Chains A and B, each alone.
Chain A
Amino acid sequence: MINKIADSIAQALKGTQDGATVLVGGFGTAGIPSELIEGLIEQGARDLTVVNNNAGNGEHGMAALLKAGRVRKIICSFPRQADSYIFDGLYHSGKIELELVPQGNLAERIRAAGAGIGGFFTPTGYGTELAKTPSGEPKETRLIEGRHYVFELPIHADLALIKAEKGDRWGNLVYRKAARNFGPVMAMAAKKTVASVHEVVALGDLDPESIVTPGIFVHQVVLIDRVATAAGGIKS
């Protein structure tokens, strides 16, 4: 019998190694798998490369992982928010490396990894500072049918932490509203994907026409308490 339902977050995250690349879902506060991030802090892996659209809000979740000194490098599109002071401090003191990626390139690089694509040419960022590698070398470009493109590489990961709404024991997932964001592409791109859900349902209870992430992309499903998503990243 296939059973991807984990007994606990600790069980689901067991074996996460130092130096791992970890994809973390979420945009602003929607879809941030805060419970799984707290679990990763407890699990203890360090020297991580974290991929997330943002770089943490306030004191919890991603911000707490950064504060605990577990992250060597962050790959993201928008690290600066109204309450991202933990990242800001680490960045200004040179304690964290930042690779800034346009948001659509970030999503597509993750998707490419999951889809087995070795890289792709994108018009986004052509002619800008972000068409350079983190070490400052110009990225490969190509003129295709009169338009300029930049070559971007996939982002493969060891672990993906995502937040979904409901899941079953085969790992099929559905999401809630705009909390879906990076979840489906991140689930595809990691050797191991752990999804938190607010509801575990029986096989067949999710409408097969409406399953967003098929279970093949998911390895562990953890049930968490339902807590309303809080505001964050905006001036209060």
Chain B
Amino acid sequence: MSVTKRDKQALARRVAMDIQEGMTVNLGIGMPTLVANFIAPDLEVLLHSENGILGMGPAPATGSEDYDLINAGKQPVTLKSGGAFFHHADSFAMMRGGHLDICVLGAFQVSVHGDLANWHTGERGAIPAVGGAMDLAIGAKETWVMMDLMTKTGESKIVSACTYPLTGIACVKRVYTDLGTFECSPEGLRLIDCVDGLDAPSLGQMMGITFVK
């Protein structure tokens, strides 16, 4: 049986399935921003942007861009009715103070215990840039990661211990990937679901990881 990978849209839809009415959510730069497209329109979910926006709406129509109203990726966005602006110290107090329900981030690596590496490959000569990654990783009530499970060279990005520089320690709760969904815990990695064509043994073997119950 062939493996049916989740494409980016399907993965974004899978993450959005777990976002509930009334939650406040921060979607990181890159793939996580796609999740906004799949949150059911009848749910009231507040999107937070680190640069001082709560109640962020979708991209504006072409020609209506306002570059004083941008998201963390510097792309133009809109504000929903009831949305608010605030300064940076308040915005990061919302994170660090545990006021956000969920933060969805991309990653280079996640350890089975929830350590996150997503800010720097440690490559020589690369200019390091961290932005809000470390604040987000440790701030939300739950940090979720969204990424492809395997590298281009076929290694699992969920590892027993991260080799890239860490963003935060034991901060990731769930990992949503193109092949399955996982939960990180002090005991190890749990499998929540996997795509058609895979089962726990075959996925565990591919990753080189034994799942805990």
Could you tell me which A residues sit within 8 Å of B by CB distance? 27-31, 53, 77-81, 87-88, 91-92, 98, 100-108, 110-111, 122-130, 148, 175-185, 212, 228-234
Chain A residue nearest to B166 (CB atoms) is: A128
27 contacting pairs across A/B (C-beta < 8 A): A27-B51, A29-B74, A77-B130, A79-B129, A88-B127, A92-B125, A102-B133, A102-B135, A103-B50, A103-B92, A104-B91, A104-B92, A104-B95, A104-B132, A104-B139, A105-B135, A107-B88, A124-B96, A124-B134, A127-B166, A148-B169, A178-B52, A179-B68, A180-B87, A181-B87, A230-B67, A234-B75
Summed over the interface, the residue pairs from A and B with CB atoms below 8 Å come to a total of 151
User: In angstroms, how far is the closest chain A Cβ from the Cβ of B50?
Assistant: 7
From B49, B128, B138, A126 is in contact (CB under 8 Å) with: B138
Which chain B residues border A128 with CB–CB below 8 Å?
A: 134, 165-168
Cβ contact within 8 Å between A91 and B127: yes
19 additional contacts, CB 8 Å, given A27-B88, A30-B68?
A: A31-B68, A77-B129, A80-B128, A80-B129, A81-B74, A98-B128, A129-B165, A130-B134, A175-B85, A177-B66, A178-B69, A180-B86, A181-B52, A181-B88, A185-B88, A185-B89, A229-B66, A231-B74, A231-B76
Contacts A77-B129, A80-B127, A232-B74 given; indicate if A104 touches B52 (C-beta within 8 A). no
Binary per-residue interface labels of chain B (16-49) against chain A in the complex, 1 for a CB within 8 Å, 0 otherwise:
0000000000000000000000000000000001
In whole angstroms, how far apart are the Cα atoms of A107 and B75 in the complex? Answer: 21
User: In angstroms, how far is the closest chain A Cβ from the Cβ of B167?
Assistant: 7
* B73 part of interface (Cβ distance < 8 Å): yes
Chain B residue nearest to A234 (CB atoms) is: B74
Cβ contact within 8 Å between A29 and B168: no
Which chain A residues border B165 with CB–CB below 8 Å?
A: 128-129
Interface residues of B in 64-104 (CB under 8 A from A): 65-70, 73-76, 79, 85-89, 91-92, 95-96
Which chain B residues border A30 with CB–CB below 8 Å?
A: 51, 67-70
Chain B residue nearest to A148 (CB atoms) is: B169
Contacts A102-B130, A180-B85 given; indicate if A108 touches B68 (C-beta within 8 A). no
Which chain B residues border A31 with CB–CB below 8 Å?
A: 68
* B53 part of interface (Cβ distance < 8 Å): yes
Cβ contact within 8 Å between B79 and A102: no
Cβ contact within 8 Å between A177 and B88: no
Cβ contact within 8 Å between B85 and A108: no
In whole angstroms, how far apart are the Cα atoms of A27 and B166 in the complex? Answer: 24
Chain A residue nearest to B138 (CB atoms) is: A123
In whole angstroms, how far apart are the Cα atoms of A173 and B48 in the complex? Answer: 24
Contacts A127-B166, A181-B88 given; indicate if A231 touches B132 (C-beta within 8 A). no
User: In angstroms, how far is the closest chain A Cβ from the Cβ of B7?
Assistant: 22
User: In angstroms, how far is the closest chain A Cβ from the Cβ of B146?
Assistant: 20
User: In angstroms, how far is the closest chain B Cβ from the Cβ of A125?
Assistant: 5
Cβ contact within 8 Å between B65 and A231: yes
Cβ contact within 8 Å between B169 and A127: yes
In whole angstroms, how far apart are the Cα atoms of A78 and B53 in the complex? Answer: 19
* B186 part of interface (Cβ distance < 8 Å): no
Which chain A residues border B91 with CB–CB below 8 Å?
A: 104, 107
* B131 part of interface (Cβ distance < 8 Å): yes
In whole angstroms, how far apart are the Cα atoms of A197 and B140 in the complex? Answer: 35
User: In angstroms, how far is the closest chain A Cβ from the Cβ of B75?
Assistant: 6
Chain A residue nearest to B79 (CB atoms) is: A177
Contacts A102-B134, A104-B95, A232-B74 given; indicate if A176 touches B68 (C-beta within 8 A). yes
User: In angstroms, how far is the closest chain B Cβ from the Cβ of A147?
Assistant: 9
In whole angstroms, how far apart are the Cα atoms of A66 and B73 in the complex? Answer: 23
Which chain A residues border B51 with CB–CB below 8 Å?
A: 27-28, 30, 178, 181
Which chain B residues border A233 with CB–CB below 8 Å?
A: 74
